[in-house]
Every structure is written in structure tokens, then in C-alpha cells.
Amino acid sequence: MPPRNRESGPGAPLSWEIHQPSLLREYIEVVLVISMVTVVACFVPADYRVFGDIYLFAVIMLCLRVSRWPVLFASVAGVLAWNFFIVAPQMAFAPLNVQDGIFLGTWFVVALVAGQLTARLRAKEQQERQRERNATVILQLTRALDAARSLDDAIEVALRQADALFGVPTALSLPEGDNRFVSHSGSSLKLDDQEFSCVREGSGTAVSLSGNIHIPVQQGKRRLGIFSVGWGSQKNRMPPAYLRLMEMFALQIGLLIEREQFREASEREKLLAESDRMHRTLLDSVSHELKTPVAVLRSAAEGLAREKGARREILAREIVTAARRLDHLVANLLDQTRLDAGRLRLRMDWCDVHDLIGAARRAVGEGLASRPFSVKVPDEMPLFMADAVLMEHVLSNLLLNAVHHTPAGTPISVHAGVENQDSGKAWVFITVADRGPGLTEEARARLFQKFERGEQAKAGGLGLGLSIVRGFMLAQGGDVVADDNPGGGARFTIKLPHKVHESVPHE
């Protein structure tokens, strides 16, 4: 019988106990009770029939504690003790008259009937208690499995619980290849080739030559594995209640494996669907977005070949603008590829916010020409540690995002500074704000996802800009947040932890 454990919690060993009646203990109890009644009867003067009733009462009381055969033994022992020690002549088996014979026969029948009825009631009570214990064990097991983080962890928890519960080593063999089974790494029972042969060939619960028990783990006709219990190391016979609980254990493990397989299949389907959607979106966006600047380049180049004078300068600027747009699209695709592949290499150095804003403004080019553009940076703005190339891409993407989502003539502003928190930590922040339509609650939830374009966006862009902004900021240990600009529009704020270096002067 496995030891009981008082620990609690999902990972605690299961606490369970089978009350197997010990026949030897019950027979000893019968002998002690009959002997006690006999000793009392020998020293208390009373009619011998009174003691017959006392013997009958003792047998009926024993019915509440012992099983059927000990009750039968108690009835016979009580009759013999009553006749030998109580009925005159004492210390000898005296012949009984008709009245005593009828009394004795009635007494014996009552004892047998009471024993049978009580034994049935006790058996039903034990069955109900056993069902309750089994339900408690399965509930504890289910909670422990639900707390596991993966299928391997759940199987390991189940096997550890089974080891503690049954007091013997256990194993779970999972199918691998054609009709082959391999023990899970959490198994404590080592199975040899002979055991695996029994596992493969058996169609139901099987017992190997070594005495180990193998229970199929299956759902419907699908075999998901084999649950093995090393009972061959035990000398005593397995109680039926153990086997029933082992089969329930195997059923729970089967449900766990099937649920995990369904979950993995569902995740694969979702990934495939999302991959297919992103693939189509990327192809559609690339084909559409590359078509426009290429057409502009071709048209402007053809016109440039024919025109002279001032018209040539206008066409040249169109070529430069289209080339910048094409370069920005390709750069965003490459940046997103680097982020997805985890191949982003940081080159952190001290950066000046004026240089970064100026570089980003030049990268946007003509997009800001028709808009009021303001920059607000405090005179004491210090240098800060960042990757200058990534920060230039971040700011240019934020400026282009403002251009794409606001009409011509709408002001765009950039504000930078240092924010000191109560915890003593300082952050460098740069804010890009516009006076466009602002952000809806629905848009905020999807704002930094790949290929996400706003409803108010103009033609142009793949919907990668804000996703790249967030990826670059997180890679540098910073973050980006979006909120409403006071007075209307949207505001994007990027933050980086500020590290003060004594050798670097403030500007």
C-alpha cells in the first residue's frame, strides 16, 4: 500500500489508500470476542440460554466489522463455545434436547442471515468509498496536469504521481514509427525487449511474464501509447481496485495526449492560415507598391530624355522622389526580414538628437515640404546611447507615418527631452505628433502589427513601418507608445533608458 502524503498543490504526490480487509486480522478479532464472552459467562451466574443470546449478539456485532467467512466462523465458534463451556455438563459437548436444538438452529440461522446482509452492506459501502477515493485521485491528477506547461511536463507529472500512488515504478510508452514504442523520459520503469513485445502484441490490458501490467492508452480505436506498471516487483497479489484505478489513470493520460494533439493541430492550422494570409498580403502590397515608383521612374526618365531646360529639373526631382520611395520600401522589407530572423546587430554609441532628427527629415524629403514642421529640443538635451542607424529608421518611419495619415498642410512636430522617474531611472524620449484624424480604439489594438495599414492612409506603404519601429526600439531596450495628441491627431513617443557618462558633455 503506498504511503499517504499530506502535501497539497498541483505537483504534490497523490494521496490514496485501498482498504483491503485482512482475513487473519478478522479471524483473530473473532477469536478474541468469542473468548471474551466465554470468560465472562464462566464467572457470571446466569441461565445458559441468556448466554446463548449474548453469543448471538456478539456475532451480530462482529457482522459490522468482519467479512462473510469470519462471520460464519464466529457462528460456529459461538455454538461450540456455548455448548462446551456453558451448557451443563460444562467442559464437555453435551447432547441437546429438542428445545435447545430449536434454539440453537434458530440462533445459527439468524447469525448467518445477519452476516450475509451485513457483508453485502459493507461491500457496497466499500465500493462507494472506493469510487469517492478514485474520483478524488483523478481530480487531483487533472489539476496537476492542467498546471503543466507542456505535454512532456504533464506526462512527467502523471508518471511521478503514479509512482507515488501505486508504490511501484511506472512507464509510458509512446508510438514511434511502424508498430514501435519508446519509453518517455519520465518513466521510472525500464522495459526490455520482452516487455515491449507484450506491449506491441496485446490488444488490451496484458500481464507480462515478469508480472508487469500493460494498459493501452487509447481514444476510440486510436492507440496513443501504453501505460505500464511494474507490479512484478511486488510479492502480494494486486487488489482489483488498483487495476481499476490504473485503467482510469491510462484514460486520463489518453485524454491529455489527445487534447494536446488537437491543440497542436489547431495551432499548426492557425500558423498556416496566418502565413498564407501574410504571404498574400506581402505579394499584393509589394506588387502594388513597387509598380507605382517604377512607373514614375520610367515615365520621368523617358520625359527627361526629351525635355530641356527647367522641365528637366522637375523630372529629375520626380526621379529622385520615386527612387527614395522605392528605396524606403525595400529598406522596410529588409528591416522586417532582419527582425523576424533575429539577425539584428546593434552598434550602440553616443547619439545627438539634432543629428538624428535632421537625418530622418532628409530621408523623408519631399513628404515634409508642404507641411509646417517644428522641432522642440531643450538646450540642455544630453547625448544618449543608441544605434544611430536604427534610430534614423525609427524617426523616418514615424515621420512618413504622419505624412501618410494627414492631409497636405497639416503641421507635424517633433519634441525631445529627458524624463526622470521617482524610482531614479531616466528616459530619453522623442515624440512625433500630427494633427490628423487620430487613433481609434480598434486601430490601437492592431497598430504595431505587420502589414497593418490605417483606414485613413494614403496610397503607399506596406504597413511595416510601425512594426519596424517597435522591433527596433525593443531591440535597444526601449519602447514605443501611441496616444492621442492634445488638440487632435496622433502622437507617437519612443523611449530609451538614459545612461549618463561623465566623459560625455551635455549639449
Work out whether the CA dihedral 100, 105, 110, 112 comes out positive or negative: positive
- Residue 385: per-residue pLDDT: 92
First to last CA, the chain: 78
pTM, entire model: 0.43
Residue 87: CA atoms inside 13 Å, Cβ hemisphere, count? 20
Q: Give yes or no for a contact between 428 and 416, defined as CB atoms under 8 angstroms apart.
A: yes
Among 318, 288, 290, 289, which Cα is nearest to 302's? 318
Helix axes 68-81, 98-146, angle to 10 degrees: 150
- Residue-wise pLDDT tens digits, 253-308: 888 888 888 888 888 888 878 777 766 666 556 655 666 666 677 676 666 666 66
296 CB neighbour count, 10 Å cutoff:
18
More confident residue, 185 or 380: 380
- Residue 332: per-residue pLDDT: 66
Residues 80, 93: Cα–Cα separation, whole Å: 8
Beta strands 373-376; 412-420: pairing state: parallel
Position 147 pLDDT exceeds 60: yes
Domains of the chain: 23-144 (no CATH), 148-265 (3.30.450.40), 344-497 (3.30.565.10)
- Residue-wise pLDDT tens digits, 336-382: 666 666 667 888 999 999 999 999 998 887 778 888 999 999 988 99
Planar angle of CA 291, 297, 298, nearest 5 degrees: 85
